[in-house]
Amino acid sequence: MWAVILFVAAAATVNAATVAGRLAEYGPMARARLAPHFQRAGVAYPPKELCLVGLKEERRLELYATWGTNTLRFVRAYRIQAASGKPGPKLCEGDGQVPEGFYRIEALNPNSRYHLSLRVNYPNQSDREQARRDGRTQLGGDIMIHGSNVSVGCLAMGDEAAEDIFVLAADTGLKQIRVLLSPVDFRVRRLPQDAPAFPAWVAALHQQLAADLKRLTR
């Protein structure tokens, strides 16, 4: 019995993919797909800085990048294939909400159940501090930008888009990436009238998101 368990564990270790392996497998195709978009934007590849903008209501993930200046330029957008929840931030484990706020990519997962994934650093320090003020615990986690077309609390991008974003993130460097997750594109619309009631502090968060979005032009 122990021999079988050890064999299975060893096989899983041998077969586990690495980031380097995934880059070798998907990198050439992903970079070829990304190249014309970076050329049109006038941004060298890989960029100096990358901003991923997730717009929940619009089901849209936008890429902005910069190279020689501090101005982020629109590169391209992807359709979010699936995302659960309603407008409003994630408050607790199991609420099905996609977070809202300002985040980072903290890890790349080459062995995701959903093809490839990028781990968002929810809950971040701001989330934890606000939860302490509210008296909330069990904030949840494991928020990903991933492949496939199913999701609960994450952003499912489809496999090809996930390959592009995974490779781009690896080539750029995780420390050079920020993520903005907003309930709507505040540049062109307001929250829907049937949006649920939010805690009082959410209005200030949405104002900050709106201000950052308005600095980005397509």
Instruction: Give me the phi and psi of 201, to 5 degrees please.
Output: -70, -15
Backbone conformation region of residue 45, classed left if phi is above 0, alpha if psi is from -120 to 50, else beta? beta
**Considering 51, 115, 146, 206, which one is annotated as catalytic?**
146
Confidence of residue 13 (pLDDT cuts 50, 70, 90): very low
Model confidence over 133-177: pLDDT tens digits? 999 999 999 999 999 999 999 999 999 999 999 999 999 999 999
Model confidence over 121-134: pLDDT tens digits? 999 999 999 999 99
> How many CB atoms within 10 Å of residue 182?
24
**Considering 37, 51, 115, 154, which one is annotated as catalytic?**
154
Please say if 154 is a catalytic residue: yes
> What pLDDT score was predicted for residue 15?
63
Confidence of residue 7 (pLDDT cuts 50, 70, 90): very low
Residue type, 172: T
Confidence of residue 3 (pLDDT cuts 50, 70, 90): very low
Return all residues near 123 (Cβ < 8 A) that are at least 6 apart.
90, 99, 131, 139, 140, 141
Of the candidates 78, 104, 100, the one whose C-alpha atom is nearest the C-alpha of residue 157 is: 78
Q: What kind and span of H or E run contains 8? A: helix 2-15
Model confidence over 57-77: pLDDT tens digits? 999 999 999 988 779 999 999
Tokens 């629109």 appear where? 74
Cα–Cα distance measured from residue 178 to residue 133, given in angstroms and rounded to the nearest whole number: 25
Q: Domain map of the chain by residue range?
A: 2-214
Please say if 146 is a catalytic residue: yes
Return all residues near 69 (Cβ < 8 A) that are at least 6 apart.
none
Cα–Cα distance measured from residue 97 to residue 152, given in angstroms and rounded to the nearest whole number: 8
The number of angstroms, rounded, from the C-alpha of 35 to the middle of its chain's C-alpha atoms is 21
Domain 2-214 fold is: L,D-transpeptidase catalytic domain-like (2.40.440)
Residues paired with residue 74 on neighbouring β-strands, in sequence order: 64
Cα–Cα distance measured from residue 216 to residue 218, given in angstroms and rounded to the nearest whole number: 7
Angle between helices 159-172 and 19-41 (to 10 degrees): 90
